[in-house]
Structure 1
Amino acid sequence: MARAVDHAERREIFAAAALRVIMREGVAGLTVRAVAAEAGFTTGALTHYFNSKDQLLIEASELSARLVRERMERAERVRPALEAVRRVVALALPLTAETRGYWRIWLAYWERSSYDDEVARVMRLRYDEWRGRLERVLRRAQSEAAVAPEVDAREAAEALIALVDGIGVQVVLGVSRISAARQRAMFDAWLDKVRSGRAPTHGLRRSA
C-alpha cells in the first residue's frame, strides 16, 4: 500500500530545492523545471503545490528566514553581549557564499515588495524583528558597560541595519568589491564608535 503523501513535507522539499537553486544560480535560474529537477520530482508534481516562479520565491524566502532566524537566536544568547553583537551581525553580512545566496533571495524579495502589498508587509515585520534583535543585544551590552550609556540603542540599531544593507547590496550586485575583511573592518569601525560614545548624532540619545 502506497504511503500517503505528507503535503507539508512535500512543500518543504520543493522550498528547499528552490532555495538551493537560487543560492547556486541566482533568481534568474529559478524556474519550475529547475526546481522540480533539483527536488527529484516531475514538473507536474511541483505545479500541484506551486504554479509560478513568484510562489516559489516566496516559499524559498520564508524557508531562508526560518533558517537564519534559528542561527540568529543562538547567536543572540551568546555572552558577553558584545560578542553576541558580533556574531549576529556576522550572520547578516555577505561574508560567505551561503550568506550571499541568502542576500540574493532578499534582494529579489525587495523588488517584489514594490508591487506586492503582502510581501511588503512581511518585509516590514522582518525588519522589525531584525531591529528588535539588534536593539536587545545593544542594550545588554550597555548593561555590561561595553557600549556607551549615551548611545540610543534603537537608533544605533537602525544605523547598523543601514550599514549592513549597504554592504549587502553592493556586494551581491557586484557594484563594489568589499572583501570579507573589509566588511568586518567597516563593522568594527561602527562598533568602536558605539562603544566609546563617538557615534554620529543620529546614534546618540536625543536630548529632552
Structure 2
Amino acid sequence: MPRFVDPVERRNAVGQAVWRVVKRSGLAGASVRAVAEEAGLSTGSLRHYFKEQRGLQRYAFELILERYEQRLTRIDPALPLREQIEEALWALLPVNPEQITEEQVRLEFLIQSRLDPELAVLAADDRAQAVRLTREAIIALRDAGQAPPGVDVEATALELLALVDGLAQAVALSPESMPAERLRQALRRWLDNLAGSGPIGAER
C-alpha cells in the first residue's frame, strides 16, 4: 500500500530545500532540478507541486514570512506589555541556526524583489507588517507610560525597525559575532532608553 504524503508537509520540505540551495548557490542556482535533488525528489515529482522556478522561489519566500507570523502568534498575551513587545521583536530576529538561514535567504529574496514584480509585492507586504508591528509597539508603550507622551510614533517606529533590520542583517552576515544574548541586550537597551524619555540610543 503506497504511503500517504501530506502535501503541506511536502511543500514545506521543498521550501526548506530551496533555502538550503539559495544559501549555498544563490537564487540563480535554485532551479527546479537543483531543488528536487536537494529535497530527494525526482524533477517530475517536484513539478507536481511547483510548475516552474519562479513559483517555487515565491513559495519559499512566502514560507519565511509565514514562519514570522507563526512566531508572533505564539506570544503569550498574558505576559506584561514590555515582555510581549520584546518577544514580538525577538520573533523578527534570527536567533537560532534555522532562523539564521531564513534571514540569509530572505536577504537574497529582497535583493531580487527589485527586479521581480511578484517578489516585490511580497517584500512590500513584509515591510508593511513590520512597520505596523513597531508602530503598534510604540503606541502601546506610550499609552502604558513606558514611552514619552509626546513621542513621535512614526519616526520612532521606523527607528526601532531600522534597529531590528540592522541586527538581523548583522547576524546573517556574521552569525558568530552576534550571539542571541547580544541581540537581546540591544533590544532591551533601546527600549530602556525610550522609557527613560531621553534621546533614543543615548546612554543612561
TM range (shorter): 0.7 to 0.9
Give the structure 2 partner of residue 199 of structure 1: 199
> Which residue type is aligned with residue 43 of structure 1?
T
Give the structure 1 partner of residue 44 of structure 2: 44
Give the C-alpha shift of residue 2 in structure 1.
8.6
Report the identity percentage: 26
Give the structure 2 partner of residue 142 of structure 1: 142
Structure 1 Cα separation of the partners of residues 8 and 52 of structure 2: 12
Give the C-alpha shift of residue 131 in structure 1.
1.1
How many residue pairs align between the two structures? Answer: 197
Distance 1:179 1:71, change over 3 A: closer
Structure 1 Cα separation of the partners of residues 152 and 52 of structure 2: 46
Structure 2 Cα separation of the partners of residues 57 and 39 of structure 1: 14
The answer for unaligned runs of 5 or more in structure 2 is none
Structure 1 Cα separation of the partners of residues 113 and 22 of structure 2: 22
1:26 maps to 2:28: no
1:109 maps to 2:109: yes
Tell me whether 130-139 or 83-92 shows the greater mean CA deviation: 130-139
Give the C-alpha shift of residue 75 in structure 1.
2.5
1:132 maps to 2:125: no
Give the C-alpha shift of residue 70 in structure 1.
2.3
Which digits, 9 at most, give the CA deviation of each residue in 1:11-51, with x for residues without a partner?
A: 76234323255258725274434533454531112124232
Give the structure 2 partner of residue 189 of structure 1: 189
Give the structure 2 partner of residue 17 of structure 1: 14
Secondary structure of the residue aligned to 1:150 is: coil
Alpha-carbon contact 2:113-2:120 (below 8 Å) kept: yes
> Which residue type is aligned with residue 114 of structure 2?
S
Alpha-carbon contact 1:36-1:46 (below 8 Å) kept: yes
Distance 1:179 1:163, change over 3 A: same
When normalised by structure 1's length, the TM-score is: 0.78
Runs of 4+ in 1 over 4 A off after TM superposition: 37-40
Which digits, 9 at most, give the CA deviation of each residue in 1:157-199, with x for residues without a partner?
A: 2111111111222221239822222222222221112111213
Please tell me the root mean square deviation across aligned C-alpha atoms, in Å. 3.1
Alpha-carbon contact 1:19-1:60 (below 8 Å) kept: yes
Which aligned pairs between 1:53-202 and structure 2 lie closer than 5 A?
A: 54-75=54-75, 77-174=77-174, 177-200=177-200
Give the structure 2 partner of residue 205 of structure 1: none
Secondary structure of the residue aligned to 2:75 is: helix
Secondary structure of the residue aligned to 2:151 is: coil
